[in-house]
Structure 1
Amino acid sequence: MILSKSTVWFLGFLLLISIFMANLLNMIATDHNFYIENENEGKNYTKYLAEKYGKITDTTEKIIWFLQISDIHISIFRDPGRISQFQQFCDNTVKKINPAIVLATGDLTDAKAKDNLGSSQVKTEWIYYHNIVQESGVTDTTVWLDIRGNHDNFNIRTINSQENYFRNYSVQGHKHAKSYAHYTQSNGVSVAFLGVDACPDPGLRRPFNFIGLLDIAEQQLLQKLKVEAESKADHIVWFGHYPTSCILSLENKASKVNLRQLIGSSQGSHVYVCGHLHSMGGLVPKMYTKQKKGYLELELGDWKDNRMYRLAAIDHGHFSFVDQKHNVWPLVLVTNPKHARYIMHGREPLQLIPDSSHIRILAFSDVAVKNVDISFDQISWMTCRNTKGPLYVCHWLPHLFTKGIHYLYVKVYDELGREAFVEHPFTLDGSAMSFEVSPRILLMLDAGVVFQAIFGTLLLINVLPLVTLRLCKRPPRYRGKYGRQIIKRLWLLSKVDRVFYPIVLYAAYLPFGPWAIGELIDGHVGAIFAWGILIKGSYLPEPFTYMYGSVQLMFVQVPLVFVLCHCLDYRLNGYYVRGVRRLILNLPFVFLLSIQLLLAYFFWLEYGTMSFLFGPLRTWSIALSLLLWYKTLNLPPEYCRNLLKLTETPS
């Protein structure tokens, strides 16, 4: 059987899609064999923990809990509730929960201008942050570990510049310029909290400050901190602002440290907690995954719009957590048995759970907790006993749940009658629960590679059809009426030299030439390229430039080709149209030009007049679009007749 060309193309397309999906699923797979590859190390480590902690009973020892808050974005221009409710968090929530540690993982201030586009450090915002933390007295009862985010690094020339208010107005800034470690030993549990500061130096204004960067010095510091943490603590909790998918590591001839590998190389590393992505605007509220090295990566929803915070605990060597909205009580966290989705073989003494005698639950409220009840079938309920503080325990028979996934149901009531209900899956035989696909994609892929792929794909879409059609003597046949018309218009446009070459040459310019030259930091002129940014004699490989260019390609350059096709068709066949109808026929170009003017205006607000004037990506493309539109509508009559003859030439 002879296959048609369309069938061959379709099969080839399916093959490419299959290869792409196979590679994607492999990159985001969580059912990896990390534990098997490191089985001996894992067994030795978990055996050590099991011997240290002993049997899980109703003891109030061997448990520690801490809080995380992220992306506070204190602003003097918008949403005063961020400030007032952050003050409530420090005054009430932290004191009610009484954690050993509070992690504030970046974007402490908003650092955005009133127009929401310009960006620079605002001293008043830092003073608000400093005063709230200090005047609440929260640092008297707990340890406050804060670290910078990309907003805390906007428009900062050097880490030692006056504009780096983190040094003077944060809790840790005067002691730690960048990454650091803090050790705590409480209630029989020793933990190292290792903070990763991946803010680039210098810090550009937005939007080119989205990706974190670990230079050689910072990589060496993190290696040193990790080695010290392994010798001083049984558990390591890593924290930072950027997810690992949004962190680049510079490399030299000697070495390059991959943060994921560095975290995963220590058996004591349980988790990396971060913020930055704001749960993708609430679309991915549970952005959690298990990285291939066997540890958890957990992005926390922002305080800015969603008022989220996280309670986490290490109980007899097992890590547990729950994310909660501010002022929603009671707050409940089951620490034994551990949640089935988040078990970490080789990193936790999971063998202690089947031998445990008690279910263990942390329950908090801003008033007294009245009852904590549990059930395995939601029919018969048992009341837990309060031991000390927030710990509630209940005797159980784990041998009844030895195989598969089971569910523990928890109801907590406080004295105001408020109720919290928790459905808690657990397993005693290691049965796996999968993570959702979208969090795995966002946390396990490399954002830089994704941005490059999107930019490259849109660049090909912009020029490849035109180049291919230009090589064709006749427009390719297509059965669909509208598809045939579009292909014919594209084919005709590809034959117009004065349009074809500018489009192709501009597309060829984008991956190599500068997109803008101007003051990227106050007082310092730099150049933006697709592949990075040059400023102050330094090269910053900021992959977000690819995403910025992708916006131009998607909303301007690719639509421009179709708008010019429409204009060419009007020039060839509708030259007799006059008046209002002529204006209506040019509305697509007017709409496209409006988008370009808006994008250029935004760029001017972000980076100033010089960048606007010397901006081939945003500003100069407006002139190019106007020129191509004018040339298309004013093709000489003889040129038009020759184009029409091409469509009449027999194949």
Structure 2
Amino acid sequence: MYRETDRDKENSYYSIKIISSNIYVYTACFVSLDAFNILSLDSVSNYYRKYSAFRKEGHFHYIHRTHFGSYSFICVDATLTPGPKRPYNFYGILNQTGVTELAALAEESHHSNQSIWFGHYTTSTIISAAPGIRQVMSSATAYLCGHLHTLGGLMPVLHSQHRQGTLELELGDWMINRRYRIAAFDHDLFSFSDLSFDVWPAVLITNPKATLYSNPAQEPLGRIRNSTHIRILAFSTSSISSVLVSIDGIDLGNAVSTSGPLFVLKWDPMSYSKGLHYIYVKVQDDTGRTVSKEHVFTLEDDVPLRFNLLPSFILLTDHYILVRIIFFLSIAVHVSIIIVFRYLKKPVPKEPPGLLTSACLSLHAFSKSNNFYYPILLFSLYTVVGPWFVGELIDGHVGVCFTFGLIVNGHFLEGSLTYLVGTMQVVCFNFPLNCYLCWCLSLRCRGHCFRAHVRDIGVLRTVPVHLIMLLCFIWQSYSCVFLLQTYGVLAFFISPQRTWSLILTVILIRKTWTSTDSHLRTYIAEMKNYHAS
């Protein structure tokens, strides 16, 4: 686990390197780790303000001017203020004021040759006011972001493209995996390469650019057809000795250095005017280190290539909406089942009940017994409307957590990850508890007692069920421990959804084997008659 002191040291080293690098033009953005566990931007734990060389919070627009045009770089700051502890700082928020500010910056950038937007959060993890962050940045060539990085190594490449054409390019993290990106505009055509630190040479093919990463709405792609040279940027700590180029497996020769890291090789683009083609570049430096780069390109206008489905789903889906739908559906299904069986007429089997009939009868017994119906119904509804816990959402500042958001220091932070946590609560605890209680009631109605039911029914038919419920109970207990470690003792004791639910669970399970409810006695008598017939 990456500790607080580790983050402080990492940011300190970063600051020293930036200041000593003599980089005169740079940009930086506020990220979720900078807004982690801080009440305001003036907090001493605001590492961005403490260590960044730029130290500008909020959205901003930097224009890089050259003799051949200007290029806009727009920062999207969706970090939470105040910034709660994990995990509830996972989503960023853009309110209407923030969206309006970004729309104004987008309007300013129309005078630039190209515009690049950048920010910490992916668009899929930003709760945005209308018309939405993707629509606001639709004039951008690309949006550069982090946050999800490689999803713990599960997705080494997370790239996709908005419906409006803007590329969304997630970058692996620097903190653990030491990933970085080089990018360039070549005649207003945007190219980039994601690289690992201290792997040399670093190579970027700028012309012809990769078709997959083309943005026809913003880039003058026709310039590739009119170009005279293949162009490559190659960097290394040693001198570059060779840059070999081939297209479709045919060697074209060795690109030559013109100035700095730029290497060029004459070509005839009309030889590749039809279809898709494959360019391959092999770069070697004086120490013998070799790196190869390749991509697919085309000079035609109507040969679209599509990004993989999974990265597109991860980057382009508004997950905060999806998890809300799943949460309310899970609650609706659970609550509807027990309410329907509460008022549904009980069936009268004419023969010993089978598995399905027994399950239905147990649901009837459960729903028609006030001892079980009301506690579970209210517990499920409380998951939706009640405060989950009261604790230190920020060190030294007590707040309240609901499904629909957090309240801390007079600020309301709209719910996002809370809906995912709520869904896990319903699926991994509320619903399994309901099923387990019904199963216990079914055994009770069939004349079994707690002490002897394992012997009477068999180990294989009982122990696995108890183990599943035990795992759910352990999961809920771990959630209580997490509350204690993260949000303090207060959160542990004032947590109806977590800590109190464990007490409720023990009481309800005990009642399934000891209750003398009149409805339950009726079911026990009927089930004995069915099995005796």
TM-score (norm 2): 0.89
Change (3 A) 1:272 1:552: same
Q: What's 2:433 paired with?
A: 560
Q: What's 1:593 paired with?
A: 473
- Tell which deviates more after alignment, 323-332 or 576-585: 576-585
Partners of 1:379 and 1:130 in 2: how far apart? 47
Stretches of structure 1 lacking an aligned partner (at least 5 in a row): 1-72, 79-108, 110-121, 251-255
Partners of 1:326 and 1:601 in 2: how far apart? 38
Q: What is the deviation of 1:258?
A: 2.5
Change (3 A) 1:580 1:77: farther
CA offsets, 1:88-121, max 9 Å, x none?
xxxxxxxxxxxxxxxxxxxxx4xxxxxxxxxxxx
Change (3 A) 1:578 1:374: same
1:279-428 equivalence runs, <5 A: 279-428=150-299
Given candidates 152, 156, 159, the residue that maps to 2:34 is: 152
Partners of 2:489 and 2:178 in 1: how far apart? 37
Which residue identity is paired with 2:79?
A: C
Q: What's 1:497 paired with?
A: 370
Residue pair 1:461, 1:558 contacting (<8 A) in 2 also: no
Q: What is the deviation of 1:339?
A: 0.6
Residue pair 1:193, 1:237 contacting (<8 A) in 2 also: yes
Stretches of structure 2 lacking an aligned partner (at least 5 in a row): none
Which residue identity is paired with 2:328?
A: G
Residue pair 1:157, 1:203 contacting (<8 A) in 2 also: yes
Given candidates 200, 203, 218, the residue that maps to 2:83 is: 203
Residue pair 1:75, 1:125 contacting (<8 A) in 2 also: no
Change (3 A) 1:578 1:398: same
1:432-471 equivalence runs, <5 A: 432-470=304-342, 471=344
Partners of 1:386 and 1:156 in 2: how far apart? 50
Residue pair 1:156, 1:163 contacting (<8 A) in 2 also: yes
Residue pair 2:365, 2:520 contacting (<8 A) in 1 also: no
RMSD of aligned Cα (Å): 2.9
Count of equivalent residues: 519
Partners of 1:571 and 1:406 in 2: how far apart? 72
Partners of 1:530 and 1:475 in 2: how far apart? 41
Determine whether 1:532 maps to 2:411: no
SS in 1 for 2:433: helix
Partners of 2:225 and 2:72 in 1: how far apart? 28
Q: What is the deviation of 1:337?
A: 1.1
CA offsets, 1:187-206, max 9 Å, x none?
73521211111112211111
Change (3 A) 1:475 1:160: farther
Q: What is the deviation of 1:464?
A: 3.1
SS in 1 for 2:515: coil
Q: What is the deviation of 1:163?
A: 3.7
Change (3 A) 1:563 1:397: same
Residue pair 2:37, 2:84 contacting (<8 A) in 1 also: yes
Which residue identity is paired with 1:464?
A: S
Change (3 A) 1:499 1:354: same
Q: What's 2:508 paired with?
A: 628
Q: What's 2:104 paired with?
A: 224
Partners of 2:395 and 2:491 in 1: how far apart? 12
Residue pair 1:571, 1:634 contacting (<8 A) in 2 also: no
Which residue identity is paired with 2:411?
A: S
Partners of 2:168 and 2:471 in 1: how far apart? 43
Which residue identity is paired with 2:18?
A: V
Q: What is the deviation of 1:473?
A: 2.6
Change (3 A) 1:341 1:475: farther
CA offsets, 1:247-289, max 9 Å, x none?
1235xxxxx452222211x3xx211101001222222222111
SS in 1 for 2:70: strand
Given candidates 234, 238, 256, the residue that maps to 2:117 is: 238
Partners of 1:540 and 1:141 in 2: how far apart? 37
Partners of 2:506 and 2:92 in 1: how far apart? 38
Which residue identity is paired with 2:385?
A: F
Given candidates 166, 170, 175, the residue that maps to 2:48 is: 166
Partners of 1:491 and 1:426 in 2: how far apart? 65
Q: What's 1:618 paired with?
A: 498
Which is bigger in relative contact order (C-alpha 8 A, separation at least 6)?
Answer: 1
Give the percent of matched residue pairs that are identical in Structure 1 and Structure 2.
36
Partners of 2:234 and 2:152 in 1: how far apart? 29
Q: What is the deviation of 1:125?
A: 5.1
Residue pair 1:475, 1:491 contacting (<8 A) in 2 also: no
Partners of 1:326 and 1:244 in 2: how far apart? 26
Change (3 A) 1:257 1:201: farther
SS in 1 for 2:295: strand
- Tell which deviates more after alignment, 205-214 or 162-171: 162-171
Partners of 2:396 and 2:450 in 1: how far apart? 55
Q: What is the deviation of 1:334?
A: 1.3
Partners of 1:639 and 1:588 in 2: how far apart? 28
Change (3 A) 1:383 1:74: farther
Which residue identity is paired with 2:42?
A: N
Partners of 1:516 and 1:76 in 2: how far apart? 24
Q: What is the deviation of 1:485?
A: 6.0
Partners of 2:364 and 2:156 in 1: how far apart? 46
Q: What is the deviation of 1:541?
A: 0.8
Which residue identity is paired with 1:400?
A: S
Determine whether 1:127 maps to 2:12: yes
Partners of 1:334 and 1:551 in 2: how far apart? 45
Q: What is the deviation of 1:393?
A: 1.5
